[in-house]
Structure 1
Amino acid sequence: MRTPPAILKFYLRLGIVMNTRTGNTNCLWKRDFVLLIFTGLMVLLIYSLTTEKIRTERILVSKLQEKPVLCPVAISEESITPLKNTKHYLVSAFMDQRVKGFDIRIIGIFKRDSINPLHCSFCCGGVCNKTSPATILPHSDHFGFPYTATDVLCQIPKNCDPSSVTVLTQPSSNASDHVFIPIRNKKEEIRFNFTVCISSLFGDYNNVLQFAQTLEMYKLLGVNRVVIYNTSCGPELERLLQSYRQEGFVEMVPWPIDRFLNPSRGWLFSKHGGDLHYFGQIVTLNECMYRSMERSRYVLLNDIDEIIMPYKHENLVSLMNSLEPQHSNVGEFLIENHIFPKKHFEPSGRFHLPQWEKVPGINILEHIYREDPERGVYHPHKMIVKPKLIEQTSVHEVLRKFGERYKVPLEVCRIIHVCVSMRGYLKLEELNEDKRLWD
């Protein structure tokens, strides 16, 4: 603690007195010296106590002036959070200031016939009485299902540094009765070049061999992280994914959508029924894109049985280094899908390895015959996107974006998709031999 000026003057005076006291007044000098020391200590003690009291009173006054409403709210640690007093669900919230007038984007699942005005409520440094009106943007690709992926856009109130947010049906509602979700992407840094988003695993999916081969292929191609949304998978695949998770290559996101809704196993409501398209595929793709927005330069949006494969470059890094200078304003790179029917096998058996025979799943290295797409009908693509230029995505194309679209030529890059044949009537000699995986 700094010595006050009054005490310094006291010690100066004490030194002068000590230097001038001499002779016959020795006893008097000793008495005065003791008195001065005692007086100085008392002054120092009183000054310290007074200063501490003033400081404490100022802190108390400042706190009283703030009049905070403490925020003893519940913060959800789940990937799906029911929204109170509605038929809707919140998934995650992100800082997103790309659209003028808004700061926060909440990814949700909303019932399309029950969308009413809503308000965002923020938890700001322990205070939870900050609200702002919400803008609701249902995604246009809902394929007729009752529920759809939905964005909720909010503006942060003044003098608020929010840590979490929820949505209210009335701005006057007691926010402490609601469950908040944390706000992500506040202090992220670019750490990855490429992230692959796998929409969802369900139905005790257990295609272990193809899954492992695909993940290893993506490692060779330069992918840094694979994000997987897991509703259910088989025990062997669960063990495999845990090993990849422990090494940091796979990020597992629990996706218990079947606890809340009746998710469809198909893409069209009129044909497959259910509440939500394909176990919430569009929701998870958008959530993954925003989850990766501040930490990954590029995001690959495709299924686990699809590999986005460069044909003129050794890896994805070289591919994008070649495309980027020519297409710097492009946010959506469309890659055409090409099917390798799993019913046709490479004849030499080169990769029919005995150590893999008891591993469940498809051995993609045994399937080297590629179908040509039927050009007279719609043919799907998957995407490499720059997430900072994308606002909303569907499965085969981006719905809302800030950048442009570019269809990558087939000779440069295409999808290797080992699955059931789309043109099963084609004979083997009508297919193309393609050993790009072997490279």
Structure 2
Amino acid sequence: MHTRQVYKGKLFSLFVVIFIFIVIISVRTPRSYGSIPKPLGAGVTCPHQVSEQTITPLNNTKHFLVSAYVDERVNGFSLRIIGIFRRDSVRSLHCVFCCDGHLSTTTPATILPHSDHFGFRFCATDVMCQVPRNCDATHVTLLTQPDGVKVLNHSWLPIRNRNVKEEKKIQFDFTVCISNLFGNYNNVLQFAQTLEMYRLLGVNRVVIYKTSCGPDLERLLQSYSQEGFVELVPWPIDRYLNPSPGWLFSQHGGDVHYFGQLTTLNECIYRSMDRSRYVLLNDIDEIIMPYQHSDLKGLMDMLQQKHPNTGVFLIENHIFPKKPLEENKKGPLPQWKGVPGYNILEHIYREEPDRNIYHPHKMIVQPRFVEQTSVHDVLKMSGEKFKVPPDVCRIIHCPISGPKRRPLEQLHVDTRLWDFKDKLIPRVNEILTRVGLLGCNGTELNDGKDSETQA
């Protein structure tokens, strides 16, 4: 009797164990009708629509996306999207990636509007995204909802530097970023002279963000672009916003500062991050000129040796006004009367800056030190900054218009540009002849034009 009870007890225990095992298996095994939700985009290939534009509207928002770059310098993030956001309409966003043809799950986005916006409604904005594990990301887009129901209707941005490790990282020593070209600007002579001066100083590449320009300048830029010295980036911001031609909203109005200058400067830094040792942030009427070295390489080798932890070098602006008073001294310079624009070789008088008030600088930066920049200073960076003494390097700024002219006795004669004229003048003649603005022997095609006509 006792043996039979023991047997029944063991049998009961066995049944209990089997029952528990069956329950566990049934819970852990997914049902055929899909009780466990599929990940975002499971079974869907991507990208569906790749944006080929430099300005891409973001669906269901008032924002615009520009470009996307891998950025491993920021802890917790590995991708930075550069955009233009409306400041009063910032809401949470979600990142989704195309991982070698398949959609990822969403990750939360961190939105970082730049602190400099000069009162305009739209400002340069970074969106930081964390790439999911085991995702070989090729494209990215942003969603207003994490479910991604309408993800296929979004335009995808290509991740521009994803193959940088497979390529030679440093292609150039010096890149100049020209932030904006708009209107009917047709200052061909000054543009050609400045670009050739850049070359003489050791610049390897000039990146120009172009909304529009005059017909003669268009021919010049296309010629430089075909030879690879100029990289033209289309910038059709006037299709989407009312860009301001000025820098301050209270004075100039519009939607965004100076045709989106802050966004293009930042975009140019990231575009150059892995391929240029230094980036110069200045305008086409400005030349960052070494005064104790024959070129930029000699200057930066010296500065870097003395200041090894410096990533941003601030260069003081010096204005060289056009024809102060009635001074008409020409010197041994060609007139280029048939070419529209201004002759910078005639700018030989320099104003001394008033250092008792705010005085702007432009910059030479090591791009990997910079996270966000404004026009005259960086907003976020690592490393140190250094103001370069003006006797070492200064900006030769030759504006076509400027503040009130000073009397001649208050100006300083500065013919530093003339140190390069024997090489500069033949180069300028060559490019102007190539684009049909000078005759084959370097003579003007139309002496009836004023050399200072600005279309």
TM range (shorter): 0.7 to 0.9
Match 2:146 to one of 154, 171, 175: 171
The within-5 A match list for 1:197-346 is: 197-344=177-324
The match for 1:106 is 81
The match for 2:334 is 353
**SS, match of residue 274 in structure 2:** coil
Alignment partners' CA distance in 2, 1:187 and 1:326: 34
The within-5 A match list for 1:47-66 is: none
Alignment partners' CA distance in 1, 2:332 and 2:206: 25
Match 2:396 to one of 416, 430, 437: 416
Give aligned pairs, total: 373
Preserved CA contact (<8 Å) 2:181 2:209: yes
Change (3 A) 1:251 1:110: same
**SS, match of residue 341 in structure 1:** coil
Would you say 1:153 and 2:133 are equivalent positions?
no
**SS, match of residue 398 in structure 2:** strand
**SS, match of residue 378 in structure 1:** coil
Alignment partners' CA distance in 2, 1:331 and 1:406: 8
Structure (1 or 2) with the larger CA radius of gyration: 1
Change (3 A) 1:421 1:111: closer
How far does residue 403 in structure 1 lie from its aligned partner after superposition? 1.4
Match 1:69 to one of 44, 48, 55: 44
Moved more, 181-190 or 268-277: 181-190
The amino acid across from 2:126 in the alignment is: D
Match 1:392 to one of 356, 360, 372: 372
The match for 2:32 is none
How far does residue 104 in structure 1 lie from its aligned partner after superposition? 0.2
The amino acid across from 1:382 in the alignment is: K
**SS, match of residue 91 in structure 1:** strand
The match for 2:106 is 131
The match for 1:374 is 354
Change (3 A) 1:272 1:132: same
How far does residue 394 in structure 1 lie from its aligned partner after superposition? 0.2
Once the two structures are superposed, residues 360-416 of structure 1 have per-residue CA deviations (whole angstroms, 9 ceiling, x without a partner) of 111000110000011222110000000000000000000000111100001100000
Would you say 1:185 and 2:165 are equivalent positions?
no
Alignment partners' CA distance in 1, 2:256 and 2:403: 29
**SS, match of residue 239 in structure 1:** helix
The amino acid across from 1:183 in the alignment is: I
Preserved CA contact (<8 Å) 2:318 2:396: yes
Change (3 A) 1:67 1:146: closer
Would you say 1:93 and 2:68 are equivalent positions?
yes
The amino acid across from 1:84 in the alignment is: N
**SS, match of residue 53 in structure 2:** coil
How far does residue 273 in structure 1 lie from its aligned partner after superposition? 0.5
Change (3 A) 1:219 1:276: same
The amino acid across from 1:106 in the alignment is: I
Change (3 A) 1:340 1:72: closer
For structure 2, list consecutive stretches of 5 or more residues without a partner in the other structure.
Answer: 1-40, 420-455
Alignment partners' CA distance in 2, 1:84 and 1:237: 36
**SS, match of residue 323 in structure 2:** coil
Change (3 A) 1:200 1:425: closer
**SS, match of residue 191 in structure 2:** helix
Alignment partners' CA distance in 1, 2:47 and 2:311: 41
The amino acid across from 1:181 in the alignment is: L
**SS, match of residue 145 in structure 2:** coil
How far does residue 342 in structure 1 lie from its aligned partner after superposition? 1.1
The match for 1:383 is 363
The amino acid across from 2:330 in the alignment is: G
Change (3 A) 1:154 1:397: same
The amino acid across from 2:119 in the alignment is: G
**SS, match of residue 280 in structure 1:** helix
Moved more, 143-152 or 367-376: 367-376
What stretches of structure 1 move > 3 A for 4+ residues in a row? 344-348, 420-423
The match for 2:24 is none
Alignment partners' CA distance in 1, 2:415 and 2:191: 19
The amino acid across from 1:240 in the alignment is: L
How far does residue 424 in structure 1 lie from its aligned partner after superposition? 2.7
**SS, match of residue 107 in structure 1:** strand
Change (3 A) 1:200 1:67: closer
Preserved CA contact (<8 Å) 1:123 1:164: yes
Preserved CA contact (<8 Å) 2:47 2:156: no
Preserved CA contact (<8 Å) 1:109 1:147: yes
TM (norm. structure 1) is 0.83
The match for 1:436 is 416
**SS, match of residue 419 in structure 1:** coil
TM (norm. structure 2) is 0.80
